[in-house]
Chains A and B, each alone.
Chain A
Amino acid sequence: MQNIKQIIATIVLAFTIILYSCSDFMDVIPSTSYTEQMVFTDAALTQAFVNDLYNNIHPGAQEHSLDGLTDDAYFTHNYGQKDIVEAASISQTNLQWYDNGNNPFRWVNRYRGIRYANIVINNIDNVPEKVGFNLNRMKGEAYYMRAHMYHELVRGFGGVPIVTEDFSLDQVEEIQKPRNTMRECLEFIVTDLEKAEEYLPETVGSGEWGRVTKFVATGLKARILLHVASPLYADRTVNILTVNQFDGDRMAAYRAAREAAIKVIEQGPFELIDCRGGINTERAEKFKAIMTDVQNSEQMFVRNYHTSIGAANNMGLWHGPNGYHNWAGTTPTQDLVMAFEFEDGTMPEGMTKPGEFQKGNPYNGREPRFYATVATDGNTWGRPRPADAATLDPTPLGRLQAGKYEVTNGDVEIEYRDGVKRRSMWGVDTRQGPIEDWNGSWTGYYEKKLIDTSVDAQYFRQTVPHVYMRLAEMYLIAAEASIELNELEEAAKWLDALRARIELKDTRSTLTVRGKAFNQADMREFLRQQRRAEFAYEQHRYFDVRRWMIAPEAGNKPLTGIVVEGILKPGKTSMKPYIHNEEIYDYYYYVNDLSSRETRKWMDKMYFAPIHQDEIRRNPNLVQNPGMD
């Protein structure tokens, strides 16, 4: 009996001890996170938070980037981009790609990033100093990032609500902010960037390459000032919503933009890459390297990538040829091909309308940027074919087969444009090819500029950075602002500098060979062509066609591509495998109508992106962009 009482007592005691000894038993802090208080009392953690801001700006061209929405490119896989270029169905209830994570001005993502930046800015002054950490730099980074995110929003939507606070859950009414005007947004962004300039260092070590610096802030200031000074925001005929109208001094904005751009050029640590030397295609390689080098003096602000860890850069997979098991995402249009001048400064002609054709290579003698940007039939891609394509293309570095070719032992009989049927084969990089034909290019071209073609992209990522900003942009900002300020000599100076590095003729003589005058109108047209050629696929064209208000022309162009036919010269024979050879083949290039893929149509509502209907419903103070309701 005594024994049993002891047992009872022991059990009861044991349980009491178990339960009471852990009065904090349920205070669990997740082992993979820090409390906010920790983050803002340890500068190392604050820095980690600031690092995340870089994750919250959109890393430029991705699988479906902005280019497929312009006259530069066609996006093969649709993913909601078709509706946008066809315009009619886009509205606040059908956002398509506008509500997609690849959209750099996606509302919900950018405002989340803005909140993070706000938290840093609102708390960083209380963070104690810690050896090895630079709180000023963090502060400058936060201001820069906030400005960067607003600049993306403003370029996409027009005036947007400016939020600087970190709201709590119960501040529902305070959150319902109206849209600020373009001027207010511009002033806010410029103020943030000036603070960033104040706090950011002029340079960072190569181990910190990819961090923003003082001159990056200055560069972004130049970009946004130029943007807001542009015709769209001065317009009052199609830009009818007050918040989207800039009511400030446009010329002052142009001047400020030019001043900032010149400051970056003259005082910043960046230098244009010298691409001179060799023939056009050799210079093209040097020009392409500006984008694809892991680090060089022209890159101002980039995002770096690793072969296997972290965020991925799969540009090769996304946009490369199907004959490499790639997806041919953003493919160049015939219109873009026609936007690159010849080495002598003249513009190509005649190959713009469906049915127009040329016998013999129409791509010879172009300026270097063309070869750096567009891969055409017969071009060397840059690496051997994968095994299942190697028998079809045994060349050591792969030569694009984007056409149909007469081969003596061809498997199929194909009718050519001349009406003759010939034993033939389809190129391995076509939509009739044997490899993943649904991923072939419709336009007959492949994008090359941002792709590291030495990577086996079906398996591996590339380490090529995404370039957010490079020095050439500052030259063209300075030039454009000067043209708008009607200071044409000044403009020509900056244009010439940029053209000289790829050995193109100066502005005056180029205008002359094109039969143009050295006046504001012709200079404006020239600058716009230069900007298109220089920055193709660098996410500028979407904004340029809008701010210049050339969209009604650019957005109404019928979609066209190229059809390449290789016909054996009389008396010649050729057996598979096919290799591009102008000795034995006559090549014919036909402009191809692709309007059955996309019936492109511009509507003025497309100047400004739609805000989601639900966001308008949530916030009664928010007005929708015109035509989007």
Chain B
Amino acid sequence: MNETLTVNEMKITLKQQYSSKFLMLLFFVLCTASLLAQKRVRGTVSDVNGEPLIGVNVVVKNATTIGTVTDISGNYSLEVPGENSILVFSYIGYISAEVTVGAQTVINQILTEEAHLIDELVVVGYGVQKKVTVTGAVASVSGNELKVSPTTNLSNAMVGRMPGVIGYQRSDEPGGGGTTIHIRGTNSLGFKDPLIVVDGVPGRAGGMNRINPNDIESMSVLKDAAAAIYGSRAANGVILITTKRGKEGKPTITYTGNMGFSQPARIPELANAFEYATMVNEIDKYSGRDPRYSEEDLRLWKDGSDPWGHPDTDWYRETIKDVSPMYRHDVSITGGSDRYKFFVSLAANGEDGIYKNSANRYDQYSTRVNLDMKVNDYMDISYGNVNRLQVTNYPARGATDIFSAMVRSKPILPAYWPSGEPGPDIEYGDNPVVRATPATGKDLHKAYYIQNTLRATLKIPGVEGLSLIGTASYDQHFNNRRRFETPFTLYTWDGNPEHKLTPSLKGVAQPVLEERRDEQTDWMTNLVASYDRSFGMHNFGMTLGVEAQSNEWRRVRATRKYFISDALDEINNGSVTDMETEGYSWKESRINYFGRVNYNYLEKYLLEFVYRYDGSYRFPKDKRYGFFPGVSAAWRASEEDFWKENLGFINYFKLRGSVSQTGSDYLLDTDGNLDRSIQYLNTYGFGTEYMFGTTFQKTLYPTRTPNPNITWEVGTTYDLGFEFKFLDNRLSLETDLFYHKRTNMLIYRNASLPQISGITLPRENIGEMENRGIEGLISWTDRAGKVEYDISFNMTYAKDKLLFWDETPGIPDYQKRTGKRVDTELWYIADGVFNTQEELDSYPHWPNARTGDIKFVDINEDGKIDANDRVRSNKNHRPPFVCGITTGLRWNNFDLRALFQGAAGGITYIWRERAGEAGNYYKFMYENRWTEENPMVEHPRVYNRENEYWAKQGTDQKNTYYQFKTDYLRLKNMEIGYTFNFPAVRNAGIQDLRLYVNGTNIFTIDNVKVQDPEANDTGREYPQRRIWNAGVSITF
């Protein structure tokens, strides 16, 4: 299929232009000595404002060896073969112009900027459309923009760049740490992720995170009826990723190299030794004990004069290094003839974890080969192949535990003894300075992806406009894991004056090795017939297709323990005692039929209908298929005569609207992972094996009461869009109002069904919710003198609301989920603290409350504080408002691009688990704490672990004191580059040379302070990173 080629052809890239420019220059130099000129033309090239354009290519069409470039005043002069010659003016970022020379000797040319290119194309499901004729809500971004973010994770680069695309990045661990992308907010109680389609294959293993950004031609996001062609899996939106393909011409080689450094963008500030000990003494006082640390102890911790007995340890600083390196190297080669074109890329990138002597590291190696062949006038064949290896090493203990240990570890204990040996653990051997290193073993993951796509496009001879496109993909994915956990040594000191330390082995008693092999085989075939034809002013298009897809996954795992040495991690070296094996698999299959019919009159009145008739293995035979249609229409009013006459200052206006139905068949388990169980079957699964005598026997249990009526979740989307362009297309504005209603939502009915039934519930199609909002994009492109600049602002506001939820009968209205946003929680409302006994006595309070405790509001005014006083918040950790500002400017050879990203309306819960006797506190808890000597109106006294009613975590015990607003604005990325285009560079055979530096997470403005505003699990997540990166891009 030619869709991607067409895009490439339309978007003439930098490389081609530089390449032709370079050739031109070369030729010009060589040929001036032997002029064969018949006619000389000259002139000035300028932009629409009359500013001269420097370095514009001026060539003679079909004689590309004759040409020149404009000088510093925009002037050129050229010998042309004759009056029939056609001059082609081309310039980066501008639309090329052609002029027949004729009798003229002076040809002044004005070039228009490409940004306003009216024939821009966008990739839509199973096809490509002209942007002006698109009737649905489709956002797109080019691969070049995504490249600006030096991340190994594509989803992290997307956020803030497109309206309607909302991202939440919780953590940033090398090897993990992707951003959760939701299209237009939350559209379901269950599965919320959009469908990712890579080169025409829906739901490809590996998703988009690890795709090399340099391979990406474009990314489109389908948000309304445009998505309905993906029917059953499109209810959460669709992201289409198209990779680059070969370009006709001499092979060009581009190398891009990046070297970067990362550091945590923000880590919590913790109490130091003196502050910690002071607080622990306070808990002793509150529990009626003598303070455990003396004044002398406190003094020694404060003045640091006793590093052995009274160290003051900053566990973050001991564990995390200042900067961690990362790199990326890409080479791509592209070229071809009119019959064969190729694009080949090789890439390697890697990053080191932020720990000192880090056991965490990620490396990725990938190749991509995209070939296109023109077999004859009727048939094109294209083939794409990707090979990717992702190697991640994690410490044997996960990041959550390591970060948890950094927060918990007491500042009064040493990370290292003054003599250099690692100090004691908090428990379980968790001294993070050792846990984060290879000393404790390794957890090596190797993920392989091999993806093949073969596509044949056949123009049916004799029927103009009809073509058949067949696509087949065959992908394999292997995920191998080798986890070798070894004992390691930590040292304790019993206070002896010789400072003799006691070593002891920690972690595991003997090494344990786990090896795991997962393999996944996916195939997809589809056949699409498409017919596009214009009959006079009527343009008509039709696409019909059928698609089948199958995914199979299998795992085997083996574990052996009691290795006599940690020298070799080979499964056979372990003991047969207590060895374990495990293996299981799943399979998915889908068949569907889809199509699109569109019609337009003069590209002014546009109408489109798409549908998908979808089958899913998750449903019983008679409910297996669903029909998902979408209708959209658009009116380009600015094409009307009355508009041109009266509203000419608005260069472009399009009104579009759509209504569509999409589906979702995904199920999530309670951990949020995909659940592939078949809910209509009355199946029995294996449970924990039970030991009778000394042997285990299998157990089976009914996995659930079956639901014979299970069927699709249905999403109905309404969209109304406006597109404007003003002021000679310099200002453009695009906005969409949307409303999504999800019915038949697959949720559990556990809130209303009495538990005495003993039923393990299946998912039932009972939930209903809606999500409405507005999104917009406003952009301004202009130049001021020699500075070209653009700035664009995009935003999304999406507010979801549960319309039907299985409420427990009789619960108070303020606790109901219905009418509230999805995933909200119940909160006790904190109203300061009890400062005096009188205050305590005069207000309902928790039994055994004392002064310094948080006052909960007696919401139902029944004179007691209990679970009925909790109020459901209408906020959650997902902000309803997100925005992005992208800006770029170019001045001579300098260029700058920046991305700001912001969000508002989200909340998070920040609390320290196990603080006190078993862990450290945040510094803000020291600085803001109630004491008898210094009572506070708002902040409570020091607590120990979860012992106080107001210091508990669980979902049923949260209170608003620990609730923080997560509104933020951050400079997510900024890049400054310089392009070398001096003749000297070209003479060295380099067509293009650019140097640049960029940064990620440069600063963040927010009120959370304690941790990153996007983090959601207090003090236990790998933080987002600040990255500084320098790079070079060279094209030969």
Using CB atoms and an 8 Å cutoff, list the residues of chain A in contact with chain B.
Answer: 1, 4, 7-8, 11-12, 15, 18-19, 22, 25-39, 45, 47-49, 51-52, 54-55, 77-78, 82, 86, 88-89, 91, 93-94, 107-108, 111-116, 118-119, 160-161, 163, 166-169, 172, 175-177, 205-211, 294, 303-311, 325, 386-388, 390-392, 411, 432, 434-439, 456, 459-460, 576-577, 596-597, 599, 613-615, 617-620, 622
Closest to A621 in B: B754
Given contacts A35-B683, A48-B698, A167-B757, contact A211 B692 (CB under 8 A): yes
Interface contact B587-A169, CB-CB below 8 Å: no
Interface contact A35-B867, CB-CB below 8 Å: no
The answer, yes or no, to whether B505 is at the interface (CB within 8 Å) is: yes
Q: Which of B271-308 contact A (CB under 8 A)?
A: 287-289, 292
Interface contact A51-B755, CB-CB below 8 Å: no
Closest chain-B Cβ to A319's Cβ sits at a distance in Å of 16
> How far apart are the CA atoms of A89 and B2 in the complex, in Å?
71
> How far apart are the CA atoms of A310 and B697 in the complex, in Å?
10
> How far apart are the CA atoms of A456 and B508 in the complex, in Å?
11
The 3 closest A-B pairs by CB, nearest first: A115-B758, A387-B504, A93-B867
The answer, yes or no, to whether B617 is at the interface (CB within 8 Å) is: yes
CB contacts (< 8 Å) of A325 on chain B: these are 427
> How far apart are the CA atoms of A22 and B292 in the complex, in Å?
74
CB contacts (< 8 Å) of B859 on chain A: these are none
Partner of A29, one of B525, B678, B946: B678
List, sorted by A's number, 28 A–B pairs whose CB atoms are closer than 8 Å. A7-B458, A26-B590, A26-B624, A28-B617, A30-B676, A30-B677, A30-B678, A30-B683, A32-B686, A55-B699, A78-B945, A93-B867, A108-B755, A116-B702, A160-B756, A304-B693, A308-B561, A308-B578, A309-B689, A311-B688, A391-B502, A436-B427, A459-B508, A596-B288, A599-B848, A614-B808, A618-B752, A618-B755
The answer, yes or no, to whether B779 is at the interface (CB within 8 Å) is: no
CB contacts (< 8 Å) of B753 on chain A: these are 169, 172, 175, 618
> How far apart are the CA atoms of A386 and B487 in the complex, in Å?
13
The answer, yes or no, to whether B695 is at the interface (CB within 8 Å) is: yes
CB contacts (< 8 Å) of A93 on chain B: these are 866-868
> How far apart are the CA atoms of A33 and B688 in the complex, in Å?
14
The answer, yes or no, to whether B650 is at the interface (CB within 8 Å) is: no
Closest chain-B Cβ to A360's Cβ sits at a distance in Å of 26
> How far apart are the CA atoms of A304 and B751 in the complex, in Å?
36
Closest to B918 in A: A438
CB contacts (< 8 Å) of A311 on chain B: these are 688, 690
CB contacts (< 8 Å) of A437 on chain B: these are 917
Interface contact A305-B684, CB-CB below 8 Å: no
Partner of A8, one of B458, B624, B694, B754: B458
Interface contact A163-B682, CB-CB below 8 Å: no
The answer, yes or no, to whether B495 is at the interface (CB within 8 Å) is: yes
Q: Which of B608-625 contact A (CB under 8 A)?
A: 615-617, 621, 624
Interface contact B697-A48, CB-CB below 8 Å: yes
The answer, yes or no, to whether B891 is at the interface (CB within 8 Å) is: no
Given contacts A35-B681, A387-B504, A618-B809, contact A207 B756 (CB under 8 A): no
Interface contact A49-B684, CB-CB below 8 Å: yes
Q: Which of B200-254 contact A (CB under 8 A)?
A: none
Interface string of B833-877 (1 = CB under 8 A from A): 000000000000011100000000000000000111000000000
Partner of A304, one of B586, B691, B749: B691
CB contacts (< 8 Å) of A32 on chain B: these are 584-585, 685-686
Closest to A110 in B: B758
Interface contact B755-A34, CB-CB below 8 Å: no
CB contacts (< 8 Å) of A30 on chain B: these are 586, 676-678, 681, 683, 685
The answer, yes or no, to whether B963 is at the interface (CB within 8 Å) is: no
> How far apart are the CA atoms of A4 and B705 in the complex, in Å?
55
Interface string of B494-535 (1 = CB under 8 A from A): 111000001111001100000000000000010100000000
> How far apart are the CA atoms of A77 and B546 in the complex, in Å?
61
Closest chain-B Cβ to A291's Cβ sits at a distance in Å of 17
Interface contact B546-A19, CB-CB below 8 Å: yes
Interface string of B582-613 (1 = CB under 8 A from A): 00111111110000000000000000000000
Closest chain-A Cβ to B862's Cβ sits at a distance in Å of 11
Partner of A7, one of B379, B754, B764: B379
> How far apart are the CA atoms of A29 and B696 in the complex, in Å?
26
Interface contact A596-B757, CB-CB below 8 Å: no
The answer, yes or no, to whether B564 is at the interface (CB within 8 Å) is: no
> How far apart are the CA atoms of A439 and B916 in the complex, in Å?
12
Interface contact B494-A391, CB-CB below 8 Å: yes
Interface contact A52-B687, CB-CB below 8 Å: yes
Q: A49-B702, A391-B494 are in contact. List 16 more A-B contacts (CB 8 A).
A: A7-B379, A12-B468, A15-B527, A27-B617, A30-B586, A30-B683, A33-B681, A33-B684, A54-B690, A167-B705, A169-B762, A175-B757, A310-B696, A617-B809, A618-B754, A618-B808
Interface contact B504-A388, CB-CB below 8 Å: yes
CB contacts (< 8 Å) of B758 on chain A: these are 111-116, 118, 163, 167
CB contacts (< 8 Å) of A168 on chain B: these are 705
CB contacts (< 8 Å) of B683 on chain A: these are 29-30, 33-36
Q: Which of B402-436 contact A (CB under 8 A)?
A: 424, 426-427
CB contacts (< 8 Å) of B461 on chain A: these are 1, 4
Report the count of interface residues on B (CB-CB < 8 A): 106
Interface contact A619-B754, CB-CB below 8 Å: yes
> How far apart are the CA atoms of A512 and B871 in the complex, in Å?
63
CB contacts (< 8 Å) of B982 on chain A: these are none
CB contacts (< 8 Å) of B727 on chain A: these are none
Interface contact A51-B764, CB-CB below 8 Å: no
Closest to B615 in A: A26
CB contacts (< 8 Å) of B692 on chain A: these are 51, 207-211, 304
Q: Which of A33, A34, A172 has the most CB of B within 10 A?
A: A33
Interface contact B682-A36, CB-CB below 8 Å: yes
The answer, yes or no, to whether B700 is at the interface (CB within 8 Å) is: yes
Closest to B957 in A: A94
The answer, yes or no, to whether B760 is at the interface (CB within 8 Å) is: yes
Interface contact B693-A169, CB-CB below 8 Å: no
Interface contact B585-A31, CB-CB below 8 Å: yes
Closest chain-A Cβ to B190's Cβ sits at a distance in Å of 18
Interface contact A34-B684, CB-CB below 8 Å: yes
Closest chain-A Cβ to B458's Cβ sits at a distance in Å of 6
Interface contact B379-A4, CB-CB below 8 Å: yes
Interface contact B587-A49, CB-CB below 8 Å: no
Interface contact B688-A119, CB-CB below 8 Å: no
Interface contact B696-A309, CB-CB below 8 Å: yes
The answer, yes or no, to whether B934 is at the interface (CB within 8 Å) is: no
Given contacts A8-B458, A118-B758, A208-B692, contact A411 B378 (CB under 8 A): no
Interface contact A387-B525, CB-CB below 8 Å: no
Closest chain-B Cβ to A303's Cβ sits at a distance in Å of 8
CB contacts (< 8 Å) of A107 on chain B: these are 755-756
Closest to B470 in A: A11
Interface contact B697-A51, CB-CB below 8 Å: yes
Interface contact A88-B848, CB-CB below 8 Å: yes
Q: Which of B288, B588, B676, B684 has the most CB of A within 10 A?
A: B684
Closest chain-B Cβ to A188's Cβ sits at a distance in Å of 14
The answer, yes or no, to whether B899 is at the interface (CB within 8 Å) is: no
Interface contact A89-B691, CB-CB below 8 Å: no
Interface string of B444-487 (1 = CB under 8 A from A): 00000000000010101100000010100000000000000000
> How far apart are the CA atoms of A303 and B379 in the complex, in Å?
71
CB contacts (< 8 Å) of B615 on chain A: these are 26
Closest chain-B Cβ to A99's Cβ sits at a distance in Å of 9
Interface contact A432-B292, CB-CB below 8 Å: yes
Closest chain-B Cβ to A3's Cβ sits at a distance in Å of 9
The answer, yes or no, to whether B576 is at the interface (CB within 8 Å) is: no
The answer, yes or no, to whether B338 is at the interface (CB within 8 Å) is: no
Q: Which of B687-745 contact A (CB under 8 A)?
A: 687-703, 705, 707
Closest to A149 in B: B758
Partner of A89, one of B590, B754, B847: B847
Interface contact B699-A207, CB-CB below 8 Å: no
Closest chain-A Cβ to B491's Cβ sits at a distance in Å of 8
CB contacts (< 8 Å) of A304 on chain B: these are 691-694
CB contacts (< 8 Å) of A94 on chain B: these are 866-867
